Amino acid sequence: MRTAPERRKAWLTGQRVSGKLAERLRERITTGVYPVGRALPSETALTAEFRVARNTVRRALRALEAEGLIVTVPSKGRLVQCADAPVDASYRYQLIARELRRRIERGDLGPGDLLPSEAELRWLYEASRNTVRQAFAELEREGLIVSRHGKGRFVRSDE
Protein backbone atom coordinates (compact mmCIF):
# COMPACT_ATOMS: atom_id res chain seq x y z
CA MET A 1 0.00 0.00 0.00
CA ARG A 2 1.29 3.46 -0.82
CA THR A 3 1.97 6.04 1.83
CA ALA A 4 0.24 9.43 1.83
CA PRO A 5 3.26 11.34 0.39
CA GLU A 6 3.58 8.79 -2.44
CA ARG A 7 -0.12 9.15 -3.24
CA ARG A 8 0.08 12.95 -3.27
CA LYS A 9 3.07 12.73 -5.61
CA ALA A 10 0.85 11.00 -8.20
CA TRP A 11 -1.81 13.72 -8.00
CA LEU A 12 -1.82 16.39 -10.65
CA THR A 13 -2.57 20.00 -9.83
CA GLY A 14 -2.33 23.39 -11.47
CA GLN A 15 -3.24 24.63 -14.91
CA ARG A 16 -3.35 22.48 -18.03
CA VAL A 17 -3.69 19.31 -15.98
CA SER A 18 -4.85 17.36 -19.04
CA GLY A 19 -1.51 18.10 -20.73
CA LYS A 20 0.39 16.88 -17.68
CA LEU A 21 -1.74 13.76 -17.52
CA ALA A 22 -1.22 13.08 -21.23
CA GLU A 23 2.53 13.46 -20.66
CA ARG A 24 2.51 10.91 -17.82
CA LEU A 25 0.42 8.43 -19.82
CA ARG A 26 2.68 8.94 -22.87
CA GLU A 27 5.68 8.14 -20.69
CA ARG A 28 4.03 4.95 -19.40
CA ILE A 29 3.26 3.88 -22.96
CA THR A 30 6.80 4.51 -24.23
CA THR A 31 8.40 2.73 -21.26
CA GLY A 32 6.15 -0.31 -21.69
CA VAL A 33 4.10 0.03 -18.52
CA TYR A 34 1.13 -0.07 -20.90
CA PRO A 35 2.28 -2.50 -23.64
CA VAL A 36 1.14 -2.41 -27.26
CA GLY A 37 -2.17 -4.16 -27.80
CA ARG A 38 -3.27 -3.87 -24.19
CA ALA A 39 -6.02 -1.67 -22.81
CA LEU A 40 -5.26 1.37 -20.72
CA PRO A 41 -6.89 1.59 -17.30
CA SER A 42 -10.48 2.82 -17.37
CA GLU A 43 -11.37 6.49 -17.12
CA THR A 44 -12.62 5.81 -13.60
CA ALA A 45 -9.32 4.22 -12.57
CA LEU A 46 -7.28 7.09 -14.03
CA THR A 47 -9.59 9.63 -12.37
CA ALA A 48 -9.04 7.97 -9.00
CA GLU A 49 -5.28 7.52 -9.45
CA PHE A 50 -4.54 11.10 -10.51
CA ARG A 51 -7.36 12.77 -8.54
CA VAL A 52 -8.65 14.69 -11.54
CA ALA A 53 -12.05 15.15 -13.15
CA ARG A 54 -13.27 12.67 -15.73
CA ASN A 55 -13.31 15.39 -18.42
CA THR A 56 -9.63 16.03 -17.73
CA VAL A 57 -8.89 12.33 -18.28
CA ARG A 58 -10.94 12.32 -21.49
CA ARG A 59 -9.08 15.39 -22.77
CA ALA A 60 -5.72 13.72 -22.11
CA LEU A 61 -6.86 10.49 -23.80
CA ARG A 62 -8.13 12.43 -26.84
CA ALA A 63 -4.67 14.02 -27.16
CA LEU A 64 -3.00 10.59 -27.10
CA GLU A 65 -5.50 9.30 -29.65
CA ALA A 66 -4.78 12.28 -31.93
CA GLU A 67 -1.08 11.41 -31.73
CA GLY A 68 -1.84 7.83 -32.74
CA LEU A 69 -0.59 6.29 -29.49
CA ILE A 70 -3.95 4.79 -28.58
CA VAL A 71 -7.13 3.74 -30.36
CA THR A 72 -10.63 3.55 -28.88
CA VAL A 73 -12.48 0.32 -29.56
CA PRO A 74 -16.10 -0.06 -28.45
CA SER A 75 -16.52 -2.71 -25.75
CA LYS A 76 -12.73 -3.04 -25.40
CA GLY A 77 -11.60 0.36 -24.19
CA ARG A 78 -8.57 2.34 -25.26
CA LEU A 79 -5.81 0.15 -26.65
CA VAL A 80 -2.16 1.10 -27.00
CA GLN A 81 -0.99 0.89 -30.59
CA CYS A 82 2.31 1.20 -32.38
CA ALA A 83 2.65 3.34 -35.53
CA ASP A 84 4.34 0.57 -37.54
CA ALA A 85 2.02 -2.18 -36.25
CA PRO A 86 -1.58 -1.03 -35.78
CA VAL A 87 -3.61 -2.86 -33.16
CA ASP A 88 -6.13 -5.40 -34.40
CA ALA A 89 -9.36 -3.98 -33.04
CA SER A 90 -11.41 -7.06 -33.89
CA TYR A 91 -13.63 -8.65 -31.33
CA ARG A 92 -12.53 -12.05 -30.06
CA TYR A 93 -15.31 -13.89 -31.94
CA GLN A 94 -14.08 -12.28 -35.16
CA LEU A 95 -10.53 -13.49 -34.46
CA ILE A 96 -11.78 -17.04 -33.87
CA ALA A 97 -13.92 -16.96 -37.01
CA ARG A 98 -11.02 -15.54 -39.04
CA GLU A 99 -8.68 -18.31 -37.91
CA LEU A 100 -11.21 -21.05 -38.67
CA ARG A 101 -11.94 -19.43 -42.06
CA ARG A 102 -8.21 -19.44 -42.88
CA ARG A 103 -7.92 -23.11 -41.94
CA ILE A 104 -10.86 -23.95 -44.21
CA GLU A 105 -9.47 -21.88 -47.11
CA ARG A 106 -5.99 -23.43 -46.75
CA GLY A 107 -7.50 -26.89 -46.79
CA ASP A 108 -6.46 -27.81 -43.25
CA LEU A 109 -10.17 -28.42 -42.67
CA GLY A 110 -11.77 -30.00 -45.73
CA PRO A 111 -15.41 -30.54 -46.70
CA GLY A 112 -17.15 -32.72 -44.13
CA ASP A 113 -14.40 -32.34 -41.51
CA LEU A 114 -15.43 -31.86 -37.89
CA LEU A 115 -14.51 -28.45 -36.46
CA PRO A 116 -12.91 -28.13 -33.03
CA SER A 117 -15.48 -28.30 -30.23
CA GLU A 118 -16.76 -25.29 -28.31
CA ALA A 119 -14.82 -26.45 -25.27
CA GLU A 120 -11.57 -26.74 -27.23
CA LEU A 121 -11.97 -23.28 -28.80
CA ARG A 122 -12.88 -21.80 -25.42
CA TRP A 123 -9.66 -23.17 -23.99
CA LEU A 124 -7.50 -22.17 -26.98
CA TYR A 125 -8.75 -18.60 -27.18
CA GLU A 126 -9.60 -18.06 -23.50
CA ALA A 127 -13.09 -17.10 -24.62
CA SER A 128 -16.59 -17.58 -23.30
CA ARG A 129 -19.04 -20.09 -24.73
CA ASN A 130 -21.10 -17.27 -26.22
CA THR A 131 -18.04 -15.81 -27.94
CA VAL A 132 -17.24 -19.15 -29.58
CA ARG A 133 -20.87 -19.60 -30.58
CA GLN A 134 -20.87 -16.14 -32.13
CA ALA A 135 -17.83 -17.12 -34.24
CA PHE A 136 -19.61 -20.29 -35.37
CA ALA A 137 -22.75 -18.28 -36.20
CA GLU A 138 -20.71 -15.93 -38.41
CA LEU A 139 -19.23 -18.87 -40.33
CA GLU A 140 -22.67 -20.46 -40.69
CA ARG A 141 -24.09 -17.21 -42.12
CA GLU A 142 -21.25 -17.21 -44.66
CA GLY A 143 -22.16 -20.78 -45.62
CA LEU A 144 -18.77 -22.21 -44.69
CA ILE A 145 -19.95 -24.57 -41.95
CA VAL A 146 -23.05 -26.50 -40.97
CA SER A 147 -24.27 -27.54 -37.55
CA ARG A 148 -25.66 -31.01 -36.86
CA HIS A 149 -27.53 -31.28 -33.61
CA GLY A 150 -25.78 -33.66 -31.23
CA LYS A 151 -22.91 -34.26 -33.68
CA GLY A 152 -21.04 -30.96 -33.87
CA ARG A 153 -20.13 -28.44 -36.53
CA PHE A 154 -18.69 -29.46 -39.86
CA VAL A 155 -17.13 -27.80 -42.88
CA ARG A 156 -19.89 -27.55 -45.47
CA SER A 157 -19.58 -30.05 -48.30
CA ASP A 158 -20.93 -29.50 -51.82
CA GLU A 159 -23.31 -32.46 -51.57
* pLDDT tens digit sequence for 47-82: 999 999 999 999 999 999 998 889 887 777 888 887
How much of the chain exceeds pLDDT 70, in percent? 85
Q: DSSP 3-state assignment of 7?
A: helix
Please provide residue 154's backbone torsions phi and psi, each rounded to the nearest 5 degrees. Answer: -130, 155
DSSP tag of 49:
H
Please say if the pLDDT value at position 85 is more than 70: no
Q: 107-148, pLDDT tens digit by residue? A: 999 999 999 999 999 999 888 999 999 999 999 999 999 999
pTM score above 0.75: no
Who contacts 107 (Cβ-Cβ below 8 Å, separation ≥6)?
none
User: How confident is the model at residue 3, as a pLDDT?
Assistant: 57
Structure-model confidence comparison of residues 104 and 37, the more confident one: 104
